[in-house]
Amino acid sequence: MRKWITRSIFFYFLYGLLVYWYLFFFSGSGVPAPYEGTSADPSTFMSGRELLLSQEYSTIKNFLYFVTIPFEWFLLFICLITGFSRKMQQWSEATSKFFSLQSAIYFFWLSLFVTVVSFPVNWISYQISKSYQITTQTFSAWMKDEIIDFWVNYLLMTIIVIVLYWLIRRFEKRWWLYAWLLSIPFSFFLMFVQPVIIDPLYNDFYPLKNKELEEKILALADEANIPANHVYEVNMSEKTNALNAYVTGIGANSRIVLWDTTLNRLDEDEILFIMAHEMGHYVMKHIYIGIVGYLLLSLVGLYAINVLMRFIIKRAGSLLKISSIKELTAFPLFLMLLGVLIFASSPISNAVARYQEKSADMYAIEMTNNHEAAISSFQELSRAGLSQVNPPALVKIFRYTHPTMLERIVYLEKHKESAK
């Protein structure tokens, strides 16, 4: 056990050094020479201080992202190899004779362990965002969101754990297929209730105060044949200086949502372009395409987890203190494999998302025919979030669900030239 823990710490430390070297020394984020001095060059719309801060902030946040992703896998591995997972199963079995209640108790202890050990890392991330004035939340407000996160995730995941282990114990060979089939209505249910139950736990949503702007947005929606009666505003200025807008939910619960920071920092034409972009996702059915893609990946992922769990338990079950896939003790292995597979598949899902975002940009520019507003809105998004216009390649591949700001501004400029 000590040997494997030492090895895992060594390789994690080596991985962190490689990530640090890549982000801080090897990779560059400057603008290619052909675009220097153009509207895609951040030096044309950011001050010298903003350029410095965006480089520092983005690099630090990217570093934290890449080192914290395997950190949770490391925690789950430690939970297994030290026998802590088996100990938690014994606690749950001593508490109740009902397996569903045992599952809820076991997952509570596992969630609490991961949350407490991960707390310093999350706090560091919060402090960094606070120091660069991206986050505006007080510590008490941030802690409130952290606590809400814990309980929302715990309640949803407890349902999943109970159903998952019932399936594994009832259908040991085909559990992954039945779990996938049940995930379809569950995913749609979550998308339906999120705008009206989950999101309001974190923020206040209310109809857009600027009725003149709302009329113009709804006119765009009507032109795009989108059934929308209200545009919602959310008080994100209490938490961040970053900008955003989105369409959420499905069916009768779909909503057009604008952050109040976006309303405060962008002018009317820029907001209308952002809204047209979000409507483009609706018109091109990107939400439903995304659901289909997610379901296909989850089917492959659940099958892969089934095969890998059986292989690992057969080869290293004694080391990990797991004797069967049916045991609650094995759940950290399930989560660890799930996390690895999600990270490994992120380049594919991100590439699809970036293609959809470009399509929505093109839809918006055709709808509004206002290139200047489109370009200035992207410039302001970069400035407000201190985001890199041209991030390193690996950052784009693993983190970016949107084209880089350099790419977005460049293809808008090209479209502008071709439209003349």
Question: Can you give the pTM of this predicted structure?
Answer: 0.89
Cα–Cα distance between 166 and 175 in angstroms, integer? Answer: 9
Handedness of CA 314, 320, 326, 332 (dihedral sign): negative
- Residue 240 has φ and ψ, to the nearest 5°, of -155, 160
Cα–Cα distance between 65 and 350 in angstroms, integer? Answer: 16
Question: In sequence order, what are the beta bridge partners of 209?
Answer: none
Residue by residue, pLDDT tens for the chain (420 residues) are 788 888 888 999 999 999 999 999 888 767 888 888 899 899 999 998 999 999 999 999 999 999 999 999 999 999 999 999 999 999 999 998 899 999 999 999 999 999 999 999 999 999 999 999 999 999 999 999 999 999 999 999 999 999 999 999 999 889 999 999 999 899 888 888 888 888 899 988 888 888 888 888 888 888 877 776 678 899 999 999 998 888 777 766 677 889 999 999 999 999 999 999 988 888 888 888 888 888 999 999 999 999 999 999 999 989 999 999 999 999 999 999 999 999 999 999 999 999 999 999 999 999 998 999 999 999 999 999 998 999 999 999 999 999 999 999 999 999 888 876
Q: What is the DSSP letter of 322?
A: -
Q: Which residues are catalytic?
A: 278
What does the pLDDT look like over 44-92, one tens digit per residue? 999 989 999 999 999 999 999 999 999 999 999 999 999 999 999 999 9
198 in Cβ contact with 145 (< 8 Å):
no
Cα–Cα distance between 133 and 244 in angstroms, integer? Answer: 16
H/E element, 300: helix 286-320
SS3 354: helix
Joined together, the tokens standing for residue 340 give 């690895």
